[in-house]
Structure 1
Amino acid sequence: MTQQRVRQLRVVVEAADYDEAVRFFRDVLGMSEELAYAEGGDDRVVILDAGRATLEIGTPAHIREVDRVEGATVPSPAIRLAFEVDDAPVATEDLAAAGGEVVGEPVTTPWRSVNSRIAAPAGLQITLFQEAGS
């Protein structure tokens, strides 16, 4: 096995409506603010803690199957974010109330998790998942 060189995965997203994206992910989804910088004017960035990060790589056929299983009414883009939460149905309701569009209602998947799909600010599509027994 090769030596692990990567220490952190950081997904960088450009958000035309910065304040809405920060509100949605920090204040509603509950990702804590790790760092924030403002260089003046409209030059702002916030780094939110997403817990443990992984990189999931799937074939187009696998991604289509996940779309089907999750009941997504909109196909996955090339990059979709997935967040593990304690209660996927409640988090789905919270994000929908905060302006997210539910494109896949919470379902129990064959791999025994409860998943839902949300169209989120900044043009992102996200999966919320709750592992069985959590």
Structure 2
Amino acid sequence: MGSSYFVSADRHTGAAWPFTAEQLTASVVRIWPQSSVNEDNDDTLNITVRAGDHHCELSYQADLQVLIFRDQEPLSAPLTVVHTLLRELAPGVPAVWWADFDATLEPLDPTLDLQQFIDDFGA
């Protein structure tokens, strides 16, 4: 616990996410109506989502196109949010993730079903 995870399009392959911060906000509010999205002064969206029985917090740095979430229990909650958003807003865009403690890029495949996506994260 205490680490953070980062998710972005795989820039090494030339990939970029096609969505804007406004589109991300609209999707979050539509999919999880009890959620909230607040913008900081530095183009960072702070996202609070209730995914089922779980509450999770993420942020999105719009200028860098990076989703960030803390290592939290259960990790399946923020991963569910990431999976859902990427499938909706960036289908087919290659993605990667890394942890703040080693910064090793790992592939992330949102085309997997949700449980496989969660199981493969960090495996």
TM-score between the two structures when normalised by the length of structure 2: 0.30
Greater relative CO (CA pairs within 8 A, separation 6+): 2
Q: Which has the larger radius of gyration?
A: 1
Q: Normalising to structure 1: TM-score of the pair? A: 0.29
